[in-house]
Chains A and B, each alone.
Chain A
Amino acid sequence: MGYVIEMLNITKDFPGILANDNVTLQVQKGEIHALLGENGAGKSTLMSILFGLYQPNSGTILVNGKEVEIKSPNDANDLHIGMVHQHFKLVHNFTVAENIVLGMEDTKNGFLKMDHAIQKIQALSDQFNFNLNPNDIISEISVGMQQRVEILKMLYRNAEIMIFDEPTAVLTPQEIEELIHIMKNLVKEGKSIVLITHKLKEIKAVADRCSVLRKGKYIGTVDVKTTNIEQMAEMMVGRKVLFDIPKSPIHLGKTVLSVRNLNMTNKDGKQVLKDVSFDVKAGEILCIAGIEGNGQTQLVEALSGLNPHYTGTIILHGNEISKASIRHRTTSGIGHIPEDRHKHGLVLDFTLAENMILQSYFDEEFQHHGFLKFENISSHTNDLIERFDVRSGKGEKTMARSMSGGNQQKAIVAREFDRNPDLMIAVQPTRGLDVGAIEYIHKQLISIRDQNKAVLLVSLELDEVMGISDRIIVMYEGELVASVHPDKVTENELGLYMSGSKRGEINEVV
């Protein structure tokens, strides 16, 4: 079978970094081709070149054997190449159908002719079992559904080659299953797919072949059937990766955080936290498990003070902080790796150095009488860059916006770990990270625990939950419904708690 896409000897540099260094990617017709690589390896860049967002410095692109120049996404469109971006590009107050036809509207006498489009969309949705209603408003459907809109948008434009940039990072396990099913159907229809993901299990589940990049260089392409997860991980990182990190036996210390009867009601009057009570002790990793949207976000907002509209008490080291300011909480020993790194974790238009002092710029170390001490800030940043292996084009002077997703996350992790908090609240700390970086962050979380500090981990990933926590509490519809130990529960059972079909003992929580 011939190649639908051939990207040969592609080189692309950004200020200070070679994002793609003589990379080759060959995609066969009708295959799912995985693209694997560490954070910042250049995967998004390579795909952005294929989609016409960036121009390579050198190299050739062949589509169906013919050399082409792709100067813009419109060119890509004409070549039947479509892309679902890491961050969706939908208009939130438009309907599904409006989003799909956007940019290629049919008009008659200046009026939109939507009927035909809606029919076509409905037909496509039925064909692939998308369950989409063309008239739904984007802001009212789930993230998983929004992703289907993006996929349908490609189908509507007759895309034959589909690029998925980390499509599963934002999905629940259930949604991931469904997406995998959809992708399989797409290739059955003769489409070809390039899939970027950090989850090796997913590659195993859907991909036919897998190309690996490391630090901008092409390492090789393997057949997924005959290669195991460990081999792929080693190819991408360049060393063996530990998936199960050994933990020393637990030494429980004093109670660090004590939460009692937390209640919160949202704007629509819905109770999003119901009488939540639990303790976190020094020396343990307590994990809050649950399906996205069951109150975990709100719980963390209450603990961090980002949303002060709740009732109940929060006690840190015996001091009540329920009414304390955000600053007071962070300085009295709470570290916070936030769920949304772009919204809360970083100021994207600040440099890396400026971001590294976001939670401590007021310390004597970094300012004197209100004047910033640039030398200290710079050496502090370089120290963190080195210790936490944060990769970027221009070091401390790099704009956070231009860093790869995974390295942005590492920067936040570095900043929060370095403040040495007694309680680390880590919300999805490994989202979007490569296996090497995940291993690193898990090691760090465990080392905090071993230093007799407390960790509150909020995670949607069952692997992560089972892998590193000492105790798990499950949240369902704003309530704690079970408290279990990872070695005494099966993933299946945990799934039942998470979906609300089973309730467990929670008396030991308090």
Chain B
Amino acid sequence: MKSFKNFLLKISESLKNTFSKKPKISLGENTKSSLYAILAGLIFGFILMLIFVPQDAFHGLWIIFTGAFQDGNESMGNVLLFAAPIIVTGLSVGFAFKTGLFNIGATGQLTVGSFVAIYIGVRWGFLPGHLHWIVAVLGAILAGAIWGFIPGLLKALFNVHEVVATIMLNYIAMYLVNWGVMSTVFDGLSKSKSVLESAIIPKMGLQWLFPDSSVTGGFFLAVIAVIIIYIVLEKTTFGYQLKAVGHNKEAARYAGINEKKAIISSMTIAGALSGLAGAIVYLTGSGAHLVVQNLLLSEGFDGIAVALLGLSHPIGVLLSGLFLGYIKNSGFYLQRLAFDTEVIKIIISTIIYFSALSMLFKKGFKNPFKKNKKTGGEK
């Protein structure tokens, strides 16, 4: 257990190094390395297809490339539908990284956010129609914020490593929400009830562009989140402080910046974002339900990949989130070939995580299995 913990700590340290150091190379170079990483992911996915279904591999690759155009406006809308929550969790992970924190708890924060959104969506029908979805979204944000605040507080006051705290909170969230769903909004079979019509995030005009898709205005919420986070990080003293702490805690202290406050605020905001992602996933009319199961929700982990590919930069996260949405949507159409759903899942996650991983290696990721070599005298 101890060595596992150490292993996690080492991974998170290496990730932090990868994320928080402003790259020496220019932005163009970086975009290039993201693109190479994606290419590597695609090649690896293709190799898997060659192994599993050699006769359909080329066709499969074609579908992955053209997924968004398979069914006209529906598939295009679905790209946005899939991308929206991943963008926001990516933002959550990336934001925490800027303060030097590894928020592996995006999935837990998303889970509690989802539950609160669904709870309000199902049970608070008494709210006026146009307010209902807003309250549900705000509730999700608040729940996620609390779930981010706790590890932030633990880190600031008792120096509990955020990776350890957030992993624990992921499982607590999962069990708590399973119990919450069963005892409040259970459909009697396996999952939560559908939210009321009034709790679904309005389409905000997207119905004209993509009439056949169940995409909602959640995508706009994601874009707004991107803009806000961008402004906070790049234009405000608050963002300046958070980044100073992320890059160099000691220098931040020297400058009189309250490091503890920065850690707590950063984790709280990261949690709030993941909570919002929960609302975006489940306040749709597409039949998304919280299933009672002992599984962590994958959107939170996708966030890590997105943050990596997007170099933790809000705009980068937006773009890489769209890429992941695109790939996920394509995966849906792979079912038309002889592909098992499981195989599709493997291929899609391979593309995503292989891209993310090659990004890590590209940027000098230190092998966490190796003995931790501290170099002396660097500082």
Q: Give residues in A with beta carbon < 8 Å to B.
A: 15, 87-94, 138-139, 143, 146, 170, 304, 306, 325-328, 330-331, 336, 338, 340, 342-350, 354, 358-359, 361-362, 367, 370-372, 399, 401-402
Cα A391 to Cα B20 with chains together (Å)? 26
Residue of B nearest to A329 (CB): B256
Across the interface, which residues of B come within 8 angstroms of A143, CB to CB? 377
Cα A347 to Cα B254 with chains together (Å)? 11
Query: Contact between B256 and A359 (Cβ–Cβ < 8 Å)?
Result: yes
Q: Which 8 A-B pairs have the closest CB atoms?
A: A327-B256, A88-B377, A349-B22, A344-B254, A90-B376, A326-B256, A92-B376, A349-B247
Query: Contact between B250 and A343 (Cβ–Cβ < 8 Å)?
Result: yes
Query: Contact between B253 and A348 (Cβ–Cβ < 8 Å)?
Result: no
Query: Contact between A372 and B21 (Cβ–Cβ < 8 Å)?
Result: no
Cα A336 to Cα B238 with chains together (Å)? 23
Query: Contact between B254 and A336 (Cβ–Cβ < 8 Å)?
Result: yes
With A349-B20, A349-B21, A349-B22 in contact, is A87–B378 under 8 Å at CB?
yes
Q: Which of B211-243 contact A (CB under 8 A)?
A: 235-238, 240-241, 243
Cα A344 to Cα B254 with chains together (Å)? 6
Residue of B nearest to A149 (CB): B376
Query: Contact between B375 and A350 (Cβ–Cβ < 8 Å)?
Result: no
Across the interface, which residues of B come within 8 angstroms of A371, CB to CB? 235-237
Cα A166 to Cα B267 with chains together (Å)? 42
Query: Contact between A399 and B251 (Cβ–Cβ < 8 Å)?
Result: no
Residue of A nearest to B377 (CB): A88
Query: Contact between A372 and B237 (Cβ–Cβ < 8 Å)?
Result: yes
Across the interface, which residues of B come within 8 angstroms of A88, CB to CB? 376-377
Report if B51 contacts A (CB, 8 A). Answer: no
Q: Which of B19-43 contact A (CB under 8 A)?
A: 20-22, 24, 26
Q: Interface centre among A15, A336, A350, by most B CB within 10 Å? A: A350
Query: Contact between A358 and B379 (Cβ–Cβ < 8 Å)?
Result: no
Report if B336 contacts A (CB, 8 A). Answer: no
Query: Contact between A358 and B22 (Cβ–Cβ < 8 Å)?
Result: no
Cα A354 to Cα B241 with chains together (Å)? 11
Q: Mark B244-285, 1 if CB is under 8 A from A, else 0.
A: 100110111111110000000000000000000000000000
Cα A88 to Cα B379 with chains together (Å)? 10
Query: Contact between A399 and B22 (Cβ–Cβ < 8 Å)?
Result: yes
Name 23 interchain pairs, CB-CB below 8 A, sorted by A: A15-B26, A87-B377, A87-B378, A88-B377, A89-B375, A91-B373, A91-B374, A91-B376, A146-B376, A304-B254, A327-B255, A330-B255, A343-B250, A348-B247, A349-B248, A350-B22, A358-B254, A359-B255, A361-B241, A362-B237, A372-B235, A399-B24, A402-B24
With A325-B256, A345-B254 in contact, is A90–B237 under 8 Å at CB?
no
Residue of A nearest to B378 (CB): A87
Residue of B nearest to A344 (CB): B254
Cα A29 to Cα B241 with chains together (Å)? 53
Query: Contact between B244 and A342 (Cβ–Cβ < 8 Å)?
Result: no
Cα A359 to Cα B244 with chains together (Å)? 12
Number of chain B residues whose Cβ lies closer than 8 Å to a Cβ of chain A:
30
Given A138-B376, A340-B379, output 12 extra A-B contacts at Cβ < 8 Å: A89-B378, A92-B374, A146-B376, A146-B377, A326-B253, A326-B256, A331-B256, A342-B378, A342-B379, A344-B253, A361-B240, A361-B241
A386: shortest Cβ distance to chain B, in Å?
Answer: 23
Residue of A nearest to B257 (CB): A327
Across the interface, which residues of A come within 8 angstroms of B255, CB to CB? 326-327, 330, 358-359, 361
Across the interface, which residues of A come within 8 angstroms of B237, CB to CB? 361-362, 367, 370-372
Query: Contact between B240 and A89 (Cβ–Cβ < 8 Å)?
Result: no
Cα A325 to Cα B21 with chains together (Å)? 28
Query: Contact between A89 and B377 (Cβ–Cβ < 8 Å)?
Result: yes
Residue of B nearest to A327 (CB): B256
User: Given A306, A361, A401, which contacts B253 in the complex, CB threshold below 8 Å?
Assistant: A306
Cα A332 to Cα B64 with chains together (Å)? 62
User: Given A306, A327, A347, which contacts B247 in the complex, CB threshold below 8 Å?
Assistant: A347
Cβ-Cβ contact count across A and B, 8 Å cutoff: 105
Across the interface, which residues of B come within 8 angstroms of A89, CB to CB? 375-378
Q: Mark B151-191, 1 if CB is under 8 A from A, else 0.
A: 00000000000000000000000000000000000000000
Q: Interface centre among B24, B248, B254, B379, by most A CB within 10 Å? A: B254
Cα A1 to Cα B254 with chains together (Å)? 53
B118: shortest Cβ distance to chain A, in Å?
Answer: 35
Residue of A nearest to B240 (CB): A361
A292: shortest Cβ distance to chain B, in Å?
Answer: 14
A353: shortest Cβ distance to chain B, in Å?
Answer: 11
Across the interface, which residues of A come within 8 angstroms of B375, CB to CB? 89-92
Query: Contact between A139 and B236 (Cβ–Cβ < 8 Å)?
Result: no
Cα A338 to Cα B20 with chains together (Å)? 23
A411: shortest Cβ distance to chain B, in Å?
Answer: 13
Cα A92 to Cα B21 with chains together (Å)? 22
B163: shortest Cβ distance to chain A, in Å?
Answer: 22
B254: shortest Cβ distance to chain A, in Å?
Answer: 4
User: Given B244, B256, B257, B373, which contacts A350 in the complex, CB threshold below 8 Å?
Assistant: B244
B269: shortest Cβ distance to chain A, in Å?
Answer: 14
Cα A94 to Cα B21 with chains together (Å)? 26
Cα A327 to Cα B24 with chains together (Å)? 31
User: Given A349, A358, A370, which contacts B238 in the complex, CB threshold below 8 Å?
Assistant: A370
Cα A328 to Cα B255 with chains together (Å)? 10
Cα A22 to Cα B24 with chains together (Å)? 25
Q: Interface centre among A146, A306, A347, A361, by most B CB within 10 Å? A: A347
Query: Contact between B24 and A350 (Cβ–Cβ < 8 Å)?
Result: no
Across the interface, which residues of A come within 8 angstroms of B257, CB to CB? 327
Q: Mark B122-158, 1 if CB is under 8 A from A, else 0.
A: 0000000000000000000000000000000000000
Cα A338 to Cα B248 with chains together (Å)? 15
B225: shortest Cβ distance to chain A, in Å?
Answer: 19
Query: Contact between A326 and B376 (Cβ–Cβ < 8 Å)?
Result: no
Residue of B nearest to A89 (CB): B375
Query: Contact between B20 and A354 (Cβ–Cβ < 8 Å)?
Result: no
Residue of B nearest to A90 (CB): B376
Cα A372 to Cα B251 with chains together (Å)? 19
Cα A80 to Cα B231 with chains together (Å)? 53
Across the interface, which residues of B come within 8 angstroms of A138, CB to CB? 376
B300: shortest Cβ distance to chain A, in Å?
Answer: 27
Across the interface, which residues of B come within 8 angstroms of A342, CB to CB? 378-379
Cα A181 to Cα B55 with chains together (Å)? 74
Q: Which of B265-310 contact A (CB under 8 A)?
A: none
User: Given A92, A306, A401, which contacts B24 in the complex, CB threshold below 8 Å?
Assistant: A401
Query: Contact between A330 and B256 (Cβ–Cβ < 8 Å)?
Result: yes
Across the interface, which residues of A come within 8 angstroms of B235, CB to CB? 371-372
A406: shortest Cβ distance to chain B, in Å?
Answer: 17
Query: Contact between B244 and A326 (Cβ–Cβ < 8 Å)?
Result: no
Cα A261 to Cα B374 with chains together (Å)? 38
Cα A471 to Cα B341 with chains together (Å)? 81
B100: shortest Cβ distance to chain A, in Å?
Answer: 11
A13: shortest Cβ distance to chain B, in Å?
Answer: 14
With A347-B248, A350-B243 in contact, is A90–B377 under 8 Å at CB?
yes
User: Given B236, B244, B373, B376, which contacts A358 in the complex, CB threshold below 8 Å?
Assistant: B244
Across the interface, which residues of B come within 8 angstroms of A362, CB to CB? 237
Across the interface, which residues of B come within 8 angstroms of A370, CB to CB? 236-238
Cα A170 to Cα B236 with chains together (Å)? 38
Across the interface, which residues of A come within 8 angstroms of B252, CB to CB? 347
Q: Which of B328-379 contact A (CB under 8 A)?
A: 373-379
Residue of B nearest to A360 (CB): B255
Query: Contact between A345 and B377 (Cβ–Cβ < 8 Å)?
Result: no
Cα A510 to Cα B243 with chains together (Å)? 43
